[in-house]
Amino acid sequence: MPATGPRHLRSVTAAAAAALALGLAGPAHASPGTADAHSPAGLREVLFVGNNWDGTADVIESTGGFRRIGRIDVVPDKEERLAEIKADPLRLIYFLGIRSSVGEGHDQLVDDMYATPDGSSVVVSRPSFADVVSIDLATGRVEWRFPVDGYRSDHMAVSPDGKRVAVSASTANTVHVLDIETGKELGSVATGDKPHENVFSKDGKYLWNMSIGEVNTSLDAPWLDWTKGDRRITVADATTYQRVKVIDMRERLDAAGLKDHSDAVRPAVFSPDESRLYFQVSFFNGFFEYDVAADRITRTKTLPKNPATSEDRTTWVNDSRHHGITMSPDGAKLCVAGTMDDYAAVVDRATLEEGPLVTAAKPYWATVSGDGRHCVVSESGSDQVTAIDFATGRKTVSVPVGDHPQRVRLGRVAADWTGPAAG
């Protein structure tokens, strides 16, 4: 399949569209293949926190006090990778470009991570190194490495059975799907420009990818939205890796009278019955509700602006205003990271009324705690993660982590694990 195409491209077949309209969407929270509330004997459920700028992942308790258990170096091969990059002038140009743009002056050393089902390894995407690696949790060593197409790796997703991991190759307009145990490529999917978020359907049959287009230019005024590239949701068969549907949110936004909003779909979460998609877009302080079967946007939620946040869009990191959304397991509450507005908030899904605005320093992601009672947000501006009670909407605890935490994912480790062995 070509990596680019008309913005108005529709379903490949009517049958595929009908199947997707029946709710073959995505899970509302972490896939049960790698993280659930009932870990097998010998394993414990944890949260992995990726510290993007210092190349580590903190492992913390998934409930209760969210105490830190251990830390993993996810770039043990850093010097080897840097030597390779410096020896290739084109790779060096991209490496430095990532540092000066999306990295805000820092190398991007960990974007996303998922543990293997047996709790022996963690698989990590490393944007600046344009790869995915598996790190042995006992030894801290790289078990396998997969260089992605192009020059940058990004968001990942793991299949419900925990056997496959999808990773966006953001400069190649491709999503690679890998065997999580071996790193062998099982297939790839052509996407729109700059593939970003990935979500497997909970039956594992479909993979959804959201492409966000160009986010590093200063052409951020609404009337220049067309310069941002081919942005779309690509839905692929997760067995054949063939594209079965493309959703152009530009058309859906326009139909809902939302012409001034970007169609760059950022983080997204599906309702438990997979009938609704809740998603954020570039530059917007809020989110939208999309009816999968009806194929239309049904509601808009605008969240408060922070008066201290500049209205100059070019000052917002990577075109984000809000970046991070998740849902309580019962589907009753949403939790939103108001990145550039420095807060997080729980929103009632039925009424779309928000609870207290919980002060947070550049919150970058939101996920669900192991027991489903809390929303856990990463505060990239203060190097901590904060748990917010879904029931009250109020902060419970904050825990220090490493430099610039971003993605937070549920996973498992050995019950007695405290970190890789020294040496």
Whole-angstrom distance, CA of residue 221 vs CA of residue 243: 32
What pLDDT band is residue 18 in, cutting at 50, 70 and 90?
Answer: very low
**Which tens digit of pLDDT belongs to each residue from 309-330?**
999 989 998 889 999 999 999 9
Average pLDDT over residues 52-78: 97
**Which tens digit of pLDDT belongs to each residue from 159-172?**
999 999 999 999 99
Instruction: Give phi and psi for 82, each to the nearest 5.
Output: -65, -40
Average pLDDT over residues 408-421: 95
User: In b/e form, how buried is each residue of 340-356, taking b as 16+ CB within 10 angstroms?
Assistant: bbbbbbbbebeebebbe
Reading the block at residue 184, the tokens are: 């062998």
- Go through the chain and tell me how many residues it has: 423
Residue 90 counted as domain residue = no
How many angstroms separate the Cα of 295 from the Cα of each of 13, 55, 210, 377, 394?
15, 40, 16, 30, 34
Residue 27 counted as domain residue = yes
Number of CB atoms found within 10 A of residue 312's CB? 9
**Which tens digit of pLDDT belongs to each residue from 384-401?**
999 999 999 999 999 999
- Could you tell me the pTM of the whole model? 0.90
Average pLDDT over residues 127-134: 98
User: In b/e form, how buried is each residue of 166-204, taking b as 16+ CB within 10 angstroms?
Assistant: bbbbbbbbbbbbbebbebeebbbbbbbbbbbbbbbbbeb
Residue 69 counted as domain residue = no
**Which tens digit of pLDDT belongs to each residue from 259-304?**
999 999 999 999 999 999 999 999 999 999 999 999 999 999 999 9
| Range with the largest mean pLDDT of 32-46, 79-93, 222-236 | 79-93
Residue 164 is part of which domain span? 14-45+146-414
Residue 34 counted as domain residue = yes
Average pLDDT over residues 134-145: 98
Residue 22 counted as domain residue = yes
Task: Please tell me whether residue 102 adopts helix, strand or coil conformation.
Answer: coil
Place of tokens 């992942």: 57
Residue 285 counted as domain residue = yes
Number of CB atoms found within 10 A of residue 260's CB? 11
Biggest alpha carbon–alpha carbon distance for the chain: 59
DSSP annotation of 29: S
Place of tokens 């935490």: 405
Average pLDDT over residues 104-110: 94
Mean pLDDT of the chain: 90
State which H helix or E strand residue 17 sits in: helix 14-21
Task: Please tell me whether residue 266 adopts helix, strand or coil conformation.
Answer: strand
Could you write out the DSSP letters of every residue in 112-159? EEEE-TTSSEEEEEEGGGTEEEEEETTT--EEEEEEPSTT-EEEEEE-
Query: Tell me, what CATH number does 370's domain have?
Result: 2.130.10.10
Contact 116, 34 (CB under 8 A): yes
User: In b/e form, how buried is each residue of 76-102, taking b as 16+ CB within 10 angstroms?
Assistant: bbbeebbeebeeeeeeeebbeebeeeb
List Cβ neighbours of 333 (8 Å cut-off, separation of 6 or more): 327, 346, 347, 348, 349, 375, 390
State which H helix or E strand residue 20 sits in: helix 14-21
Number of CB atoms found within 10 A of residue 41's CB? 5
**Which tens digit of pLDDT belongs to each residue from 236-259?**
999 999 999 999 999 999 999 999
Count, in order, helices (H) and strands (E) of the chain.
4, 28
Task: Please tell me whether residue 85 adopts helix, strand or coil conformation.
Answer: helix
How many angstroms separate the Cα of 195 from the Cα of each of 173, 180, 198, 230, 402?
6, 20, 8, 10, 26
Name the nearest CA neighbour of 128 among 64, 82, 62.
Answer: 82
Residue 1 counted as domain residue = no
Place of tokens 């870990």: 39
Number of independent structural domains in the chain: 1
More confident residue, 422 or 155: 155
Whole-angstrom distance, CA of residue 421 vs CA of residue 136: 10
Residue 423 counted as domain residue = no
Whole-angstrom distance, CA of residue 404 vs CA of residue 395: 20
